[in-house]
Structure 1
């Protein structure tokens, strides 16, 4: 069994198309197809459902892809580890994040780059929780800043706890010291879309308090949400950490959400392997020693 054959199968599973998979692997389509057939012959099971075109993987193929991704990731981790012994950490750090954790990502990537001058960073922001888990299990990310998950086998390093504030007009008739969730729900709200985990955290609090919330505007974009709020016609409920990035829009104020006060943990979720790769370990070590919670705790909320 050759690792190259495993690369062919993983590329086919990712693209769902023989020609695109071959292009991604920089080989001809016949070469890729022949490599996968040799892998099937060696394993003694069909891996691909074939017709006039690619029709998907067999059950055996799906199982082999899981192992193949791990083997290829371990190969890459070994290569990176050897390179790090020679000249320090090199390569690209791939980090994901849920939309509500943009502040934390920036507070990790800056010290990471400062400590590892030969690395670059690619941030995959605006990911949903299930997509983060999928990418970590496929070893497409070295880590992700997100909420805790119930998925087994994914290490989690706590970073801080997010609190919630109401962004509303300065002229709004609300107590500047803090408002209740029911009072916030009565305002014309713009919130994130219900399928987004950050919105689901808020909905869980409203449901717990038996408060009906009916936002006038819903969006799946942070930029869109901020743009709506800046018009002065809408209020919103956001994590206090957003103020670190976006500040308080002109003509508005940030009021802590109390009665009750709620918070949610945010941390670094890591891929399911032991040991971690050198890139993952460097990121995890930085997260464990990070003091970002001190800076974020000073924000309103």
Structure 2
């Protein structure tokens, strides 16, 4: 039944029999037959069918919750027994919000030094995608905001507080100030992350709190793209302090703290809320706790 439950999870995620079959490495008839057999075993209809996938039935939604739990536990058991025999190995998958790209290197380097038999992949995406990927077993852990929007039932390790600076070039408005307010920043020509990014929603929130709004003249889902446009001298941006430092804001650039309010939001590592965690996830969470303690000391 485990294999059928895995097929069902992929189908629910992809919402397309053909795409799900391709990901599972089977033919579409094989996947369809497996789902049908699962329905017969459970005695309920799981999938609304027509000429194509039309969604899950209420029973299917409930079975999906059980499937994620059962498949997750089975995977954890297999991985724990493998680690007991051979030590930690395999592939660790992280998804991170773009603003965390400056700090993730320190964490992955420390992890890689301790676990050389584990390869790593790091994907940048928005906070909602981080949660979705975690829920659908596409990643082992994520790094995202843990205090600004609901994260659901997840295990969390707070890492650091994100604070914000105006990043601009010398000669631009406000460039010589020691600090600026959110209301003042709203008057500048800004390039910002796209609205689907939680960092952008945080910026919008703080502007709204002071009665200001912003219509950026350029948007991107890449912090590197934003930084390259600041270099032109025609745009300014709002970036977390740690990211600005990593990108090397110096020389002709200015990084000016934004106050009124001096906003802070917590970024942390999240993982599925199961105990015990798979060995790779446990190792990632352990490294996150060490990282957080080092920052706070």
TM over 0.5: yes
What is the match of residue 227 of structure 1?
A: 228
Q: In the aligned structure 2, how far is the partner of 1:98 from the partner of 1:247? A: 20
Question: 1:242 Cα deviation (Å)?
Answer: 1.2
Q: Deviations over 1:154-194 (max 9, x none)?
A: 12211111111111121235344222222222222212223
TM-score, length-scaled by structure 1: 0.89
Q: In the aligned structure 1, how far is the partner of 2:161 from the partner of 2:273? A: 24
Q: Deviations over 1:262-295 (max 9, x none)?
A: 2211111221222222111111111111158649
Q: In the aligned structure 2, how far is the partner of 1:160 from the partner of 1:219? A: 24
Q: In the aligned structure 1, how far is the partner of 2:292 from the partner of 2:21? A: 45
In structure 1, the residue corresponding to 2:259 is in which secondary structure?
coil
The answer as to 2:291 corresponding to 1:290 is yes
What is the match of residue 249 of structure 2?
A: 248
Question: 1:228 Cα deviation (Å)?
Answer: 1.3
In structure 1, the residue corresponding to 2:103 is in which secondary structure?
helix
In structure 2, the residue corresponding to 1:177 is in which secondary structure?
coil
Question: 1:215 Cα deviation (Å)?
Answer: 2.4
Question: 1:249 Cα deviation (Å)?
Answer: 6.2
What is the match of residue 169 of structure 2?
A: 169
Instruction: Tell whether the 8 Å contact from 1:189 to 1:234 is kept in structure 2 after alignment.
Output: yes
What is the match of residue 106 of structure 2?
A: 107
In structure 2, the residue corresponding to 1:49 is in which secondary structure?
strand
Q: In the aligned structure 1, how far is the partner of 2:281 from the partner of 2:223? A: 27
Instruction: Tell whether the 8 Å contact from 2:204 to 2:213 is kept in structure 1 after alignment.
Output: no
The answer as to 2:258 corresponding to 1:260 is no
Q: In the aligned structure 2, how far is the partner of 1:76 from the partner of 1:233? A: 51
What is the match of residue 158 of structure 2?
A: 158
Instruction: Tell whether the 8 Å contact from 2:173 to 2:188 is kept in structure 1 after alignment.
Output: no
- Larger mean CA deviation between 150-159 and 114-123 belongs to 150-159
What is the match of residue 272 of structure 1?
A: 273
What is the match of residue 215 of structure 1?
A: 216
Q: In the aligned structure 2, how far is the partner of 1:177 from the partner of 1:287? A: 33
In structure 2, the residue corresponding to 1:241 is in which secondary structure?
helix
Unaligned 5+ runs, structure 2:
none
TM-score, length-scaled by structure 2: 0.90
CA RMSD of aligned residues (A): 2.2
Cα distance change on mapping 1:12 and 1:172 into 2, 3 Å = closer
Aligned residues: 294
Q: In the aligned structure 1, how far is the partner of 2:62 from the partner of 2:18? A: 23
